[in-house]
Amino acid sequence: MATEHILEVENLVVKYGPIWAVNGTSFFVDDREIVSILGANGAGKTSTLKALSGLIARDGKITFLSKNISKTDAHKIPYLGLTLCPERRGIFPDMSVEDNLLMGAYTIRKNKKMIRQNTEKVYGLFERLAERRKQLSGTLSGGEQQMLAIGRALMNEPKLLMLDEPSLGLSPKLVDFIFDSLKAINKSGTAILLVEQNAMVATEISNRIYVMQNGRFALSGNAKEIDFQTLKMKYLGG
């Protein structure tokens, strides 16, 4: 039985004035996969995720769970099961950890039982958040804020979780913890689309990778079959 593409993107285009940030890219994510988009700064990775989330204007066809969402408004997309954990976390610093999590549950806000269950799942994954549930989020460490951003994104039980640079600014130990958490999330049944500059760690946890240069994919393939040193020297600036 063929694996189902839960996300299929065809000829995606994003322009900022005369600048082509994403120039006709096509790719897919299968059910229960981890797929990484790698590349240097300015390659078009973040623009790709924003386009999929409806946060910026885009052309092309985006199909999610067999539904064409190319023209779907940004605020409706999380209801479909496609959720973005943004770069630099985007938490609400003057709200508590628990209130931040509740903000992520707005798509299921009428289901109090599910909200409780999902909150406990997040606390089970990130025990530090449970210890700090009443603490103001702005007082958390960078690693704890990243845990909170991921936890908030999980609150509406996405079918596909998109993450933009989750390792940004973190110590190597915390990077390992965050990526171990992503593997656990994936093992529980959630597909992951990851944008990441830490190519080595991203490659280690991914099923497949796409390497982006100047708005296009220069390389794609099975993560285990691509030579990392060649990838690094040829496509990621050494």
How does pLDDT run across 23-69, given as a tens digit for each residue?
999 999 999 999 999 988 888 999 999 999 999 999 999 999 999 99
Vertex 39 angle, CA 36 and 43, to 5°: 120
Q: Return the domain boundaries, the chain.
A: 1-81+159-169+190-238, 88-157
Q: Could you please report the per-residue DSSP string of 179-229?
A: HHHHHHHHHTT-EEEEEES-HHHHHHH-SEEEEEETTEEEEEEETTTS-HH
CA distances from 226 to 7, 36, 77, 176, 199 (A): 23, 13, 33, 21, 12
Task: Categorize the per-residue pLDDT at 109 as very low, low, confident or very high, splitting at 50, 70 and 90.
Answer: confident
8 A C-beta contact, residue 154 and residue 100: no
- Summarised one tens digit per residue, pLDDT across range 198-224 is 888 999 999 999 999 999 998 898 988
Q: Which CATH architecture has domain 1-81+159-169+190-238?
A: 3-Layer(aba) Sandwich (3.40)
Of 54, 5, 43, nearest to 27 (Cα)?
A: 5
Q: Read off the pLDDT of each residue in 134-139 and give the average, rounded to a whole number.
A: 95
Q: For the whole prediction, is pTM greater than 0.85? A: yes
Provide the pairing of β-strand 19-30 with 5-16: antiparallel
